[in-house]
Amino acid sequence: MTTITTTRVLAGRPVFPIGLGCMSLSHGYGPAADAAAAEALLLGALDRGVTLFDTAALYGFGHNEELLGRVLAPHRSRFMLASKCGIFRENGQRRIDGRPDTLRQTCEDALRRLRTDVIDLYYLHRWDKSVPIEDSVGALSDLVRAGKIRHIGLSEVSAATLRRAHAVHPVAAVQSEYSLWSREVEIAVLQACRELGAALVAFSPLGRAFLADGVPDAAALDAADLRRRMPRFQPGAFEHNQALLEPLRQMARERGCTPAQLALAWLLHQGEYIIPIPGTTRLAHLDENLAAAGVQLDAETCGVLARLFSRDPGGNRYGTIPGVLMTLRGPPPAPGQFLTH
């Protein structure tokens, strides 16, 4: 039996094993959350012991950082604040730009919106491949020396890129999608994180609510919901993926927990350096997610779950969304590079 500790270490600080991804409060799955409901969710998370709040300049194009600044600034000493740079809006489009001057300006804007003097963990949201990763990380290291950020993170990078970046300045965390049905990081990134002492912060740990049994009908999703345009939620692929859920439901029933809790518990049992950041707009779902830290699994159960989802899910994680493609300085995005997170 593996025991989950009450805290994990991120950037040298203890944090609750499950953090809060804040994107859905501003965009991604339909209209932004009502201001009062968003405030209640953030303060509720803080009161329940959440110590990692994750945002980005991209989320709502500044709206999410402003929300966290307005609600959480009075409680700044009680939590670790993570944000991201390198993707922003220009002329109505998302643009990846990792030039040092851009990253420095994005940080200044983020500090203002977040109403803080320093960001604890600042990620390069995506690597702009027209700029050497060493140059982008070098700019972030300048921000560390200036006292504007405390630690550097990278999002969705390969193990090789992580090592190159780490040679310039220690990388405290890599944020990548990781869940039972998104396992690419197991190829090399997890090992690199272990060797370098970096945490793996797992976004979409519930497969965008799929593993929480929260998407019974993809066709009924809000027209603005990003999942309407993701390959895994398209006709054919969605039905294929639905077949994966019944064994998960059955195993959850046998263990007295929900599918969401079982999926999060599996992720927590993959290593003490892994910190999931599920997002939600509902306090009931927040309580459900946080309770996963108390679900104990043995190695046999973890192995069964891994094998159940070992076959490739129907559809890629990301697709091309007509009219919404991010512009990129340099060559066009590689397959799968289009990003809403």
pLDDT per position as a tens digit, 175-184: 999 999 899 9
Q: What token pair was written down for 297?
A: 């699994």
For residue 64, what pLDDT is reported?
97
For residue 319, what pLDDT is reported?
64
Q: What token pair was written down for 150?
A: 């405390």
Enter the CATH code of domain 15-328: 3.20.20.100
Mean pLDDT of the chain: 90
For the residues 193-197, what does the mean pLDDT come to? 97
Task: Express the helix, strand and coil content of the chain in percent, nearest 5 each.
Answer: 40, 20, 40
In angstroms, the CA 89 to CA 92 distance is: 6
For the residues 180-200, what does the mean pLDDT come to? 96
Task: Name 287's bridge partners.
Answer: none
Q: Which residue among 59, 122, 123, 273 is the active-site one?
A: 59
Q: Which three-class secondary structure string do you get for 196-215? A: HCCEEEEECCCCCCCCCCCC
Confidence (pTM)? 0.90
Q: What token pair was written down for 181?
A: 């049905």
Whether residue 1 is predicted with pLDDT greater than 60 in this model: the reply is no
- Confidence category of residue 314, pLDDT binned at 50, 70, 90: low
- 59 counts as catalytic: yes
- DSSP structural state of residue 187: T
For the residues 89-102, what does the mean pLDDT come to? 87
Phi, psi values for residue 47, rounded to 5°: -65, -25
- List helix spans (H) across the chain: 35-47, 63-72, 100-114, 133-145, 159-168, 189-196, 237-242, 245-254, 259-268, 283-290, 299-308
Q: What angle do CA 114, 167, 205 make, to 5 degrees?
A: 50
In angstroms, the CA 64 to CA 84 distance is: 11
